[in-house]
Amino acid sequence: MNESRLSHLLPVLALGFAGQIGQVVMLREFLMVFHGNELSLGIILGAWTVWVGVGSRIAGRVREKTDEALAMSVIAAAVLVVFPATIIAIRGLRAVFPVQPGAYLSVVDMLVSTALVTAPVGLLLGAQFVMLARAWRRGDRAIDTAAADKTYVAEALGNVVGGLLFALLLVHLLGSFHAVVGVGLVMAAIGLLSSRARGRPLLWAAVLVGIASVPVLSLLDSWAYESQWRTLTPQHELVAVRHSRYGAVSVLRREDQYSFFQSGNLLFSLAGPEAPDPALEEQDAVVSAHLAMAQHPDPRRVLLMGGGMRGLLREVVRYPVERVDYVELDPVVTSTAVEYTGEQTRLALERDEVRLVHGDGRLFLRGVDRHYDVVFVDAPDPSTAVLNRFYTVEFFREAAAALSDGGVLVITAGSTGDARGVEIANRNATIFHTLKRVFAHVLVVGERNLHYFATNAAGTISEDATLLIARYHASGVPTPGFSPRQFDILLEPGPLRRINWILRHHGRSDDAHLWAPDTGPLFAPAVADQEADEHLLPPVRERFFINADFRPIGYVHTLAYWNQLTRAAHAGALRGVLRVRPWWIVPPVALSLVLAVVIPLVRREPSRSPVGRYPLLFAVFTTGLSTMALQIALLFGFQSVYGFVYEMVGLIVAGFMAGLALGAWCVHRFVRERADPRLLMGVQLAISICAALIAIALPHTAGIESPAIRFAFFLLVTFAAGFLNGVDFPIAAALCLKTGARAERATGTVYGLELFGACTGSLIAGIVVAPVLGVVAACLLAAIANGTAFLVLLTGRVMHGRRQA
């Protein structure tokens, strides 16, 4: 490779490298501020892509006489400053919005904040792409879009390197500030190698400032974390921050209580070693443990999924158990919590009958070779798709298979006193009805916290306080922090029968998810009588009240509840999402086809154009929309199967970008006449078929036994989607050049419009389609969009051909 070509290639690789790592780091930072809420994935990616698109469009319109070497130097230097400034802005976001400490930011807050915060870096990276393409074209002394194709391929390869390096190495070694300053230095240093004299002083200054800042980045990171937590929980003191593959673990202290957060989500709170009475501090855990253990007549084998460090394990091992398998996802959480927990919990971890397992609870269940009398799931409320995995029909089936005859599944969720608000009733009823799809008997106990007990054995779980007290005494458990009289309080017949009546009846009409549940009879029947008469009720509306891995409606209801509780003025946004119907896609499809007929009749196209401008731009837009919708669907699907994307998101995106690079390179290398509308039509049809096949295959991935094969499937389909996206770009750019645009303007138009489409697809698929209609529906959205693009191109080509004739 000659020196001239290398001087063009290296800055483009650096752009892709820096952009990819910067995007993933910011994604992680936003997820922490947004409490790990996956609805924000679509918003974040959408905001990122739209600003990159705007930057490329602006740069595409810059005059030909502009000194691109100086412009590229300015951008590279600015990126080195803007990247860390953006992280500071993200961590300070909560201070901008009028939300209470601990409250969730609403969807509207997310849209506004991501749009503002990602603008500077997105504009810079988008403009740099077009400037680099122009410089490469001038170096080649060409007038077509071949240099843009090379830039597109090289940037994608830089994305691949950045994604792989982040997933396999940087996520374990570097904090956010070190990562973005590092990639900014790489971008500026490579700029020095290829820039002319006018840009070098600025780049040298940026590199020197970046190197000088490295020793203080750890201090900056600590200051930014402390500022962030002061706005989230001002009454708590930040004690420690530990980084793990699953997200940053933060420890906060208030008097004698320590609270543990991961990616902004509260995991649990516990009494510290200095607390005078840990049992009093952890009273919720004490009550939950004894209420759960008493629901089985003789619990000997127990599976505890989470909650052990907050006191559950300590109480469970008071019983004459033979074995307790305690599963925690993150070893960093456990090792950190051990430093702050009381002596009794540490002693419980050391007992012979206790086995501590680090890993995903669902993967553990699938591989377990024993059965349990009690499976106790102590997970936070399903406020994210990751947490929602422990409230789905698929998980409940896995738990049922791991129960012994007469075994009991116990799961908890927060609630309100009367449980009759629309949002909280929807969430609680969804958990109840989903359990009933798997278990013959379900009992709900509690008010502020609901305990769901489920079994397939008659006579095991009970609402009879006298029976539970007898079981408790028979176990001979010494419990200084618990009185058996609490069974009478928790199982008071009136409130208990009422909550079971409300949850059993709610969710059985077409619009039940939009209205508060009925108050019910003044004196609700006994739970056993309600259960006996349940077959007389209308069927449950599955789309809104059965929670599934690939249709995580439970977490949408949970977010709606938190929005109503903390940001009531914005609660209507999620209510509107719940009104979405599948047929709503018909009007935009019909309008797109009508415009393909009408526009050629009223607008004259350039004579050199082999297809109308509208069909071309529509195809570019839908390609971006569809491939991003597929990425969102695959991210949701990956989380449903594996439970996390925090570490692997870089690897997933790297797979997509590798396919994109190969697709664009194949067209550049092997297709001589790229300005052929038939090629673009073929690509649209191929994307549509690919998306439809993914929609068929994706639900079956959870049933694949081999983790390696499952992972290979996700990488393969992600790579395929990227490949087709990559094939599309050089063909569309060549066709756009035929419409009369100069090379950079054609490049900026196609690149920008594709990213606008990606933004639209990200928002629609991430906020609406995947959570409410399901992951399969997001794939079908992509199939329909590109199928429509194929028909629009076909119609436009016929109409344009007639016009030319």
User: What token pair was written down for 708?
Assistant: 């390696």
- 755, with CB counted inside 10 A (0-12, 13-18, 19+), is buried
Give the other-Cβ count within 10 Å of 196's Cβ: 12
How much is the pLDDT for 682?
Answer: 92
**pTM exceeding 0.75:** yes
Confidence of residue 194 (pLDDT cuts 50, 70, 90): low
Whether 64 shows a pLDDT value over 70: the answer reads no
Q: Where are the alpha helices (DSSP H) in 569-706?
A: 572-577, 586-602, 613-642, 649-670, 677-697
- Environment class of 522 (CB within 10 Å of its CB; exposed 0-12, middle 13-18, buried 19+): exposed
In the 3-class helix/strand/coil scheme, how is 38-80 assigned residue by residue? CHHHHHHHHHHHHHHHHHHHHHHCCCCCCCHHHHHHHHHHHHH
Query: Could you give the angle at the alpha carbon of 358 between the alpha carbons of 352 and 363, nearest 5°?
Result: 115
Lowest mean pLDDT among 34-48, 184-198, 746-760, 765-779: 184-198
For residues 235 and 254, is the Cβ–Cβ distance under 8 A?
yes
Q: How far is Cα 201 from Cα 359, in angstroms, rounded to an integer? A: 51
pLDDT digits (tens, 9 = 90+) for 216-275: 888 888 888 888 888 777 788 888 888 777 777 888 888 778 888 887 777 888 876 666
How many CB atoms within 10 Å of residue 116? 13
CA gap 640, 650 in Å, rounded: 17
Q: Long-range contact list for 368-371, CB < 8 A, 24+ apart? A: 368/303, 368/325, 368/402, 370/301, 370/323, 370/402, 371/301, 371/402, 371/403, 371/404, 371/407
What's the Rg (C-alpha) of the chain? 29
Residue 796: the pLDDT is 80
The residue written with tokens 């075994």 in the block is 407
Average pLDDT in the chain: 83
Query: Are residues 783 and 688 in contact, defined by beta-carbon separation less than 8 angstroms?
Result: yes
The average pLDDT across 697-701 equals 83
Structure tokens at 238: 């930040």
Cα(507)–Cα(543) distance, rounded to whole angstroms? 10
Name the residue with higher pLDDT: 798 or 608: 798
Rounded to whole angstroms, how far apart are CA atoms 610 and 732? 12
pLDDT tens per residue, range 617-675: 899 999 989 988 988 888 888 777 776 655 566 677 778 888 888 988 888 888 888 77
- Note the pLDDT of residue 404: 93
Could you please report the per-residue DSSP string of 317-347? Answer: TTS--SEEEEEES-HHHHHHHHTTS-HHHHH
Given a contact cutoff of 8 angstroms between Cβ atoms, the answer to whether 258 and 246 are in contact is no
Residue with tokens 């063009």: 8
Question: Model confidence at 372, in pLDDT bands (50, 70, 90)?
Answer: very high
- Is the pLDDT at 480 greater than 60? The verdict is yes
pLDDT tens for each residue of 511-526: 888 888 887 788 889 9
Name the least confident of 198-212, 337-351, 715-729.
198-212
Tens of pLDDT along 70-91? 778 888 888 888 999 999 999 8
Question: What digits encode the pLDDT tens for the residues 91-110?
Answer: 888 888 877 766 677 778 88
Cβ-Cβ contacts under 8 Å for 309 (sequence gap 6 or more): 260, 268, 270, 328, 333, 334, 337, 338, 341, 345
Question: H or E element: which one contains 437?
Answer: none
Who contacts 494 (Cβ-Cβ below 8 Å, separation ≥6)? 523, 524
